[in-house]
């Protein structure tokens, strides 16, 4: 999962007032902190890049600016991917899953998506599968 130490923006709070379309907001199933996981995927290859967290305002900003905005749980502030690192995520499409509890953001990723600079946060090595799972 992604740490977000390389890109900063401003603080406010999760689940505060937002400009998110009420019809979209009504579909969201948030966790106890008012957040939904947001999976970033490279739009043309399907490569899973990272996971971040969004509240209503972060999703609103993502939908209206074309740049991925996330909520930093560790710092308690919004951050726009690429503002300090230069590793921008240009939004191509946004979808909710069938339960409304996860957002899929298809992006055109510039350079690495991971805070380590790697292309994806999921390249630290696959976990070994047991014999029944690998059959």
The tens digit of pLDDT for each residue in 16-72 reads 567 999 999 999 999 999 999 999 999 999 999 999 999 999 999 999 999 999 999
| Surface-to-core class of residue 4, CB atoms within 10 Å of its CB (0-12 exposed, 13-18 middle, 19+ buried) | buried
Say whether 108 counts as a known binding-site residue.
no
CATH of the domain at 105: 3.10.20.810
118 inside domain: no
Can you tell me the mean pLDDT for 93-113?
A: 97
131 inside domain: no
pLDDT score of 101: 97
Can you tell me the mean pLDDT for 61-86?
A: 95
Q: How confident is the model at residue 9 (pLDDT cuts 50, 70, 90)?
A: very low
Could you tell me how far CA 20 lies from the centroid of its own chain?
A: 16
Quick: pLDDT tens for 16-30.
567 999 999 999 999
Can you tell me the mean pLDDT for 78-99?
A: 96
Can you tell me the mean pLDDT for 87-95?
A: 97
117 inside domain: no
Cα–Cα distance list, 64 to 7, 92, 93, 100, 108 (Å): 19, 12, 11, 19, 16
53 inside domain: yes
Say whether 121 counts as a known binding-site residue.
yes
Domain that holds residue 91: 1-110
**How many structural domains compose the chain?**
1
Place of tokens 């069938």: 98
Q: How confident is the model at residue 5 (pLDDT cuts 50, 70, 90)?
A: very low
Residue 78 contacts residue 71 (beta carbons within 8 Å): yes
124 inside domain: no
126 inside domain: no
Cβ burial 45-77 (10 Å sphere, 16+ → b, else e) = eeeebbebbbbbbbbbbbbeeebbbbbbeeeeb
Handedness of CA 6, 40, 96, 21 (dihedral sign): positive
125 inside domain: no
Q: Tell me which of 66 and 2 has the higher pLDDT.
A: 66
26 inside domain: yes
């Amino acid at each position: 999962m992604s740490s977000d130490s390389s890109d900063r923006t401003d603080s406010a709070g999760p689940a505060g007032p937002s400009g998110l379309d009420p019809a979209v907001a009504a579909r969201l199933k948030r966790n106890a902190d008012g957040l939904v996981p947001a999976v970033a995927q490279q739009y043309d290859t399907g490569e899973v890049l990272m996971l971040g967290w969004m509240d209503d305002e972060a999703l609103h900003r993502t939908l209206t600016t074309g740049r991925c905005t996330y909520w930093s749980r560790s710092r308690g502030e919004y951050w726009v991917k690429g503002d300090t690192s230069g590793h921008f995520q240009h939004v191509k499409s946004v979808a909710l899953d069938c339960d409304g509890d996860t957002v899929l953001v298809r992006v055109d990723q510039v350079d690495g998506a991971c805070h380590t600079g790697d292309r994806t946060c999921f390249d630290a090595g696959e976990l070994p599968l047991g014999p029944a799972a690998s059959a």
